[in-house]
Structure 1
Amino acid sequence: MPRAGLSPAALVELAIAELDESGGEPLSLGAVATRAGVKTPSIYKHVAGLPALEALVAAHIYDDLGDVLEAALGEGDSEARGADAVRAFLHAYRSFAVRHPGRYRWLPVQPSGHPVLEAAAERVLTIAGRAVEGERGDEAIHALRGLRAVAHGFATLEAAGGFGMPADVDASFEHLVEAVATAR
């Protein structure tokens, strides 16, 4: 019988708390069960196992990232376009990754194998497409790949403490953002 108050959504929240605390170390059902105050087998009453929980957690994180990106890009008359959209996307992406390094580090680079995860990752890709709007065909793919490489590369290095030189990291980021935004 499922424990009152425990659900897939509650387990996702507990797993995210574990990721935040561990800095993005691999999840275990035992650690999530401990946080929930239950024995590990009880988890199986709510999710099919670790791969299912991991997919739900990754989907939740992609959804959170998507919400941040959507808010940054705006919508309707207030939607950022062109170079402003690129700037907004890159700033929001970096902010999310640096604010949540454990979550961000844990996201799968190639999200597949679970429909909820695939849909959440596709949403982020669609939002990124808004930042490079106007590109067509292969040029759109090149623009998306470049945007993702810049956003992910800088955010990953920064979140891991990879910028040890004395120059201001924010200034470095601004130089990069301007180079990408004005290159279009």
Structure 2
Amino acid sequence: MPRAGLNHAVVVNLAAQVVDDGGPRGFAELSLAKVAAKAGVAAPSLYKHVGSLADLRRDVALIAVRELTAAGTSATVGRAGADALHSLATAWRSYAHEHPGRYAATQIGPDPEDPADARLREAAAESVQVVGAVLHGFGLPDDRVIDAVRAVRAGIHGFVTLELGGGFRMREDVDQSFTVLLDMLVAGVAALATSDTLLDHDATGSHR
């Protein structure tokens, strides 16, 4: 039966549900047809409320980034250093398990030049600020924060993506392995904060 009261917000929320229903691939496989089926309407009816699939994907990503930022903020309030980083990472991992499709949506960087991505850029910047605040707690200078943010994000995201994709099937405890990863990230950030010199690379990529 067609769903009454459709509007832009309702359609976006339905799309977010469809994305999560699809698991880790849900965001990549989002379509207007799937959202229309969820809403109980014909796909062309959605164009009254969203301009295109690209617009809908952007709106879902915006919801997801804001949710992940809120989760990270809540988890790190009143915490510092290793405790804050562990709490942040645990919050990200929990969000990914609860909302695998939306979590995937948070990994798409907004176009720095596209005016349509303005709100998503702002939300993404707020997310980076949360991570940056955690890493500043290690005493990182400003010129090393972005490198550390990228390294921490890559480490956590890589683990979570493998976990959600069924990549960890050995009998050893996965939670323990996640803790080991976080301890390694903490040690790396702490080492970066206390290092007197940055690694320099020549054009061939070798250290010098």
TM-score normalised by L of structure 2: 0.79
- Unaligned regions of 5+ residues in structure 1, if any? none
Quote the offset at 1:61 in angstroms: 0.8
Q: What residue in structure 1 maps to residue 42 of structure 2?
A: 39
Quote the offset at 1:175 in angstroms: 1.0
Quote the offset at 1:103 in angstroms: 2.1
Alignment partner of 1:12 is 2:17:
no
Quote the offset at 1:101 in angstroms: 1.7
The code of the aligned residue for 2:168 comes to: F
- Unaligned regions of 5+ residues in structure 2, if any? 191-208
Quote the offset at 1:140 in angstroms: 1.1
Alignment partner of 1:164 out of 150, 162, 169: 169
State, as a whole percentage, how many aligned pairs show the same letter.
40
The code of the aligned residue for 1:7 comes to: N
State the distance in 2 between where 1:121 and 1:145 align.
13
The code of the aligned residue for 1:90 comes to: A
Quote the offset at 1:138 in angstroms: 2.9
Identify which of structures 1 and 2 has the higher relative contact order when contacts are C-alpha pairs closer than 8 Å and 6+ apart.
1
Quote the offset at 1:109 in angstroms: 3.0
The code of the aligned residue for 2:90 comes to: H
TM-score normalised by L of structure 1: 0.89
The code of the aligned residue for 1:62 comes to: V
Report the secondary structure of 1:132's partner residue. Answer: helix
Alignment partner of 1:176 is 2:186:
no
Q: Is the 8 A contact 1:56 1:116 kept in 2?
A: no
What is the CA RMSD across the aligned residues, in angstroms? 1.7
Alignment partner of 1:111 is 2:105:
no
Alignment partner of 1:87 is 2:86:
yes
State the distance in 2 between where 1:126 and 1:137 align.
12
Quote the offset at 1:5 in angstroms: 1.9
State the distance in 1 between where 2:4 and 2:60 align.
21
The code of the aligned residue for 2:86 comes to: R
Superposed CA offset, 1:9-35 (max 9, x none) = 111111111112222151111111121
